[in-house]
Amino acid sequence: MIKNDLFLRALKGETVDRPPVWMMRQAGRYLPEFMEIRKKYDFFTRCRTPELASEITVQPIRRYGMDAAILFSDILVVPQAMNVEVEMKPNFGPYLPNPIRDRKSLDNVIIPDIHEELGYVMDAIKATKEKLNDEIPLIGFAGSPWTILCYMVQGQGSKNFDKAKEFCFAQPILAHELLQKITDTTIAYLKAKVEAGVNAVQVFDSWGGMLSPVDYQEFSWQYINQIIEALKDDAPVIAFGKGCWFALGEMAKSNASALGVDWTCSARNARYLTGGNITLQGNFDPSRLLSPPAEIKKMVHQMINEFGKDKYIVNLGHGILPNIPLDNAKAFIDAVKEYKV
């Protein structure tokens, strides 16, 4: 039994004394102890070495005592497993030297044996579960099929993912074939993570907001929904679409346990658009963690009041930034723990 099950109770919509709190990207680049590990090992070595991944996962928990841990990994381990080369270039980000843009390159994309290609993730989960010792739940995650397609086709990060959109609009048959391959792989991957011990999963649709509402339904949401349907009986699923406030109404009709909200959508609008019945997560602007700690605490309490303490998980509206002072991150977590109705 998990000793602090606040996060899991919030996902079930149960009444709680205070909402749970964790931060997207909490395991990583703003922590000095993470930077020490980063000096010694390159990015994918950190992801592929269970001892390192588990250590990075628990670092923020030791320091701040969040109500949930999220496994240190990356969404791009999935394309790697699917026979697509991914490099992580310093001061540049992800780089895929052979992007998928035609039938020939698409035929090289495989649906892998998860345990063969991504067994190291399952080993990291088991190592992390040992370190956590059932104190708090562990979250596993994957990128949405659309977000993974964006990188696979664009070949790198982008402000508008123009090549990815061109691929979808000019060659929709190939695009849907690629999206389905990613979806099938992601379902198998997340199911394996649950078997290995994660208590909940989150699907990150980081680039969903690049699409119009109509195109979002066609190229993103229907595939995320397949993942939710496949996982719903195994573990709670959180769907987070950055910039996707326009789809919240549709998303709320799904079997997701919770929906993530970014900082461009107010608590009131998020509750209104989702009908008030589903657990919501978010939506503190990560840059706001640069405000003075006293102000952060005030804003967090106000945010909880606006969302309501039940059916709510306190989080940022996207990942924590690398330049956030440690005391400010602490103020964010402490504000939630100190919250009284």
**In the structure encoding, which two tokens stand for residue 312, read together?**
């709510």
Per the annotation, binding residues are 25-29, 44, 74, 151, 206, 318
Please report the pLDDT score of residue 320 as a whole number: 98
Q: State the Cα torsion 257-261-265-267 to the nearest 10°.
A: 60
Angstrom distance (rounded) from CA 93 to CA 90? 6
Please report the pLDDT score of residue 254 as a whole number: 98
Separation of first and last alpha carbons in the chain? 28
Please report the pLDDT score of residue 215 as a whole number: 98
Domain extents in the chain: 6-337
Please report the pLDDT score of residue 210 as a whole number: 97
Point out the catalytic residue in the list 9, 63, 74, 120: 74
Q: Is 29 a catalytic site residue?
A: yes
Angstrom distance (rounded) from CA 286 to CA 14? 27
> pTM for the full model?
0.97
Task: Examine the pLDDT at 41 and tell me if it is beyond 90.
Answer: yes
**In the structure encoding, which two tokens stand for residue 30, read together?**
């703003």
Q: Which residue type, as a one-letter code, is found at position 224?
A: I
Helix (H) or strand (E) holding 202: strand 200-205
Please report the pLDDT score of residue 10 as a whole number: 98
Per the annotation, binding residues for substrate are 25-29, 44, 74, 151, 206, 318
Tens digit of pLDDT for each residue in 150-195?
999 999 999 999 999 999 999 999 999 999 999 999 999 999 999 9
Please report the pLDDT score of residue 287 as a whole number: 98
**In the structure encoding, which two tokens stand for residue 81, read together?**
């497993």
What DSSP string runs through 8-66? HHHHTT---SS--B--TT-SSTT-HHHHHHHHHS-HHHHHH-HHHHHHHHHHHHHHH--
Tens digit of pLDDT for each residue in 209-242?
999 999 999 999 999 999 999 999 999 999 999 9
Please report the pLDDT score of residue 341 as a whole number: 79
Task: Examine the pLDDT at 115 and tell me if it is beyond 90.
Answer: yes
Q: How confident is the model at residue 318 (pLDDT cuts 50, 70, 90)?
A: very high
Point out the catalytic residue in the list 18, 46, 64, 151: 151
Average pLDDT across the chain, whole number? 98
Q: Own/partner pairs for 90-94, CB < 8 Å, 24+ apart?
A: 92/156, 93/156, 93/157, 94/151, 94/156, 94/157
Please report the pLDDT score of residue 43 as a whole number: 95
Please report the pLDDT score of residue 55 as a whole number: 98
Please report the pLDDT score of residue 324 as a whole number: 98
- CATH architecture of the domain formed by 6-337: Alpha-Beta Barrel (3.20)
Task: Examine the pLDDT at 243 and tell me if it is beyond 90.
Answer: yes
Angstrom distance (rounded) from CA 73 to CA 127? 14
Q: Is 46 a catalytic site residue?
A: no
Angstrom distance (rounded) from CA 311 to CA 14? 7
Q: Is 95 a catalytic site residue?
A: no
Q: Is 151 a catalytic site residue?
A: yes
Tens digit of pLDDT for each residue in 271-290?
999 999 999 999 999 999 99
Q: Is 41 a catalytic site residue?
A: no
